[in-house]
Every structure is written in structure tokens, then in C-alpha cells.
Copies of this chain bind each other. A is one copy, B any other.
């Protein structure tokens, strides 16, 4: 798992040695980070701002497979998925803490790679790693990241703020991370069965969507520049359908999503077809895209119109109109979070 032939057992360092080793590599850059690693707790100076806090856990064999997920990428992704939640509150992430459970099959060098990816993500997004916990596990690797962000109270955007007739907007494109996973799973099983080297050529975009996702900080910045404050917002970790339902239910509204409006990258589209999958289903239920899904007032449409990063995919309705997916022929279907069964039938 390491590029280097050196293998240092974790037991040779011990927990405190491991923490010291990590602490030596961490630099604090946020003025709000008063105290980082090395005490009972980290200390943050919120300087009058509200704080947002979010936690995610990644479990080996459930959320990632080290057969094709390099540790550095895993570390990067573990941080990014948490930052994505902070941006989805319209807040700015500033600190993270990391708790790791490691079995002794991981040498110190593997932990270094994991942290290298984490620290790269921290650097990329201007976030400080201020604390953590490292412990043993009997088998797999478990990573729990907590991200802390800051915002003025009036800037915060919740899931429940959507209004009737608001437009439903998504950033970037959808389904890519899911198709990247399909390619990786296929090549893994080919390798397992035949020993053939993985053929990942030409799949750069969707592989990067799966292995090295980014949080849409740029969209938060863009919306501020455009003077548009979303009425509700969520990040897409479970697929657009699931997240649109969260916004609708939290806001006490219905929602209509238009199949033909879904932004799907051509490569995602073609790969889905190669796998005999419906690209629409991948976009609706694939998950892990970490795009932002948000609602805006109709009056704000002019401001976002024509921006290649933003696509209007539907609108909010009154609660009685329910949760609807409108297909390309104008037919209506129930929009459901576990869309696979329901949607595959029509595919």
C-alpha cells in the first residue's frame, strides 16, 4: 500500500508517537485556530460568528475499498466530504478533527499517506487540522472526521427555507462518481478472476469524481458574487432524488424534477450506456457527487441564467402536489430516494 519498501510497525511508534509525528507536520493557518493538537481539546476563537459542526464516518469495506482507493486519495476524500457539508450551510470551513481506528496491518508509512491526503485537502481549502484521536481496530480502517465552519447568522442556509415556486438548482454534473465506482468495481473483478491489469484508460473524469471529489467552495463564492442567497441548500452525497426530497420535506413543500434537465457529462452518459444503466437513474440516485443542490427565488433566475456551473432542474410546489419526476415524454413518476427499483423498470 506504500510506495516505499520501508515498513514501520505502528507499535514501534505507539499512539503518542503517531500523534507527535502528525502534529509535527501540521501548520495552523486560520486566525481562529487558537490551539491545535497536543492538549485535551482544540481551541477556536469564533470572533462573533456562528459555528457549524458536522461529522462523517468512513468505514473500510462499506464506504471504500483499498483495492482501488489509494490511501492518499482516501484521506483527501474523507476531509472533502465533510467540508462539502459545511459549504452546504453557506458557511466557511475552518477546522477539522480526525479520529482514526487502524489495525496493525497498516504500517506507519500507510498512515503517513493517509494524512498526506488529508493535509493536502486542508491546504487546498484553507482549513486547519486541530485535533484527533488514533486508536487500534481489530480489522478494518475507520475514519471519523468532524468539520467546523463559521458564518454570520444571516448568511446560514438551511434545508427548510425553500418557498413554493422556488427554482431547484444543481451545480456541476451528476452521476459521474457513481459511474467511476462501476468502472473500478468491474476492473477489480476482472483482476480477481483473470489477473489482468486494470484498464482504466479514458475514464479519467469519472474516476476523479469517485476517487478525488472536490467540495464546491467555488459555487458558494460565485453565489455571493452574483448576490444570490439560496433559500435552501444541501450537498449531494446520496443522489439528487434523495436530497431534493430532504429539501421538500424539510420545507413542507412538494417538488418537480425534470429528467431532461439533469446535467450529465457525456462521458458519464456513455459509460452508463456501456454498463446497460439508465444515465438518468445514475444522476438521480448514484450519489457521492458532492455537488450543491439549492433553491432560489424566481426573481434570482436572471442572475444565474446561462452560468455553465448551474442548472435549473425543477421547482418547488405546494405540498399536495407531491414529489414528482417528469420524464422526457411528459410522463410523471413518483420521485423516490431509493430510486433504483422504481426507475430501472422504466429504463
Chain A contact residues, CB within 8 Å of chain B: 16, 34-35, 38-46, 48-57, 59-63, 85-86, 88-89, 91, 95, 97-101, 130-133, 135-140, 142, 144, 146-149, 153, 156, 158-160, 233-235, 250, 337
Contact = CB atoms under 8 A, between A and B. Distances in A.
A101 B39 contact: no
Contact of A159 (B38, B45, B52, B131): B38
A271 to B, nearest CB: 27
A256 B183 CA distance: 61
Contacts of A139: 138-140
23 contacts: A16-B337, A39-B158, A39-B160, A40-B54, A40-B89, A43-B53, A44-B50, A44-B51, A44-B52, A46-B50, A51-B148, A55-B131, A57-B144, A59-B136, A59-B137, A59-B138, A62-B101, A62-B135, A62-B137, A62-B138, A101-B142, A137-B142, A142-B144
Contacts of A133: 55-57, 144
A48 B48 contact: yes
Contact of A50 (B45, B63, B142): B45
Contacts of A158: 35, 39
Nearest to A62: B136
A55 B144 contact: yes
Nearest to A52: B41
Contact of A44 (B53, B57, B97, B137): B53
Nearest to A233: B40
A218 to B, nearest CB: 18
B41 A149 contact: yes
A99 B144 contact: yes
B52 A42 contact: yes
Contacts of A153: 34, 45
B138 A63 contact: no
A63 B156 contact: no
A122 B7 CA distance: 43
Contacts of A250: 38-39
A137 B63 CA distance: 9
A274 to B, nearest CB: 29
B57 A101 contact: yes
Given A39-B158, A40-B85, A41-B89, 7 more contacts: A34-B50, A41-B88, A48-B48, A54-B131, A57-B142, A62-B135, A99-B144
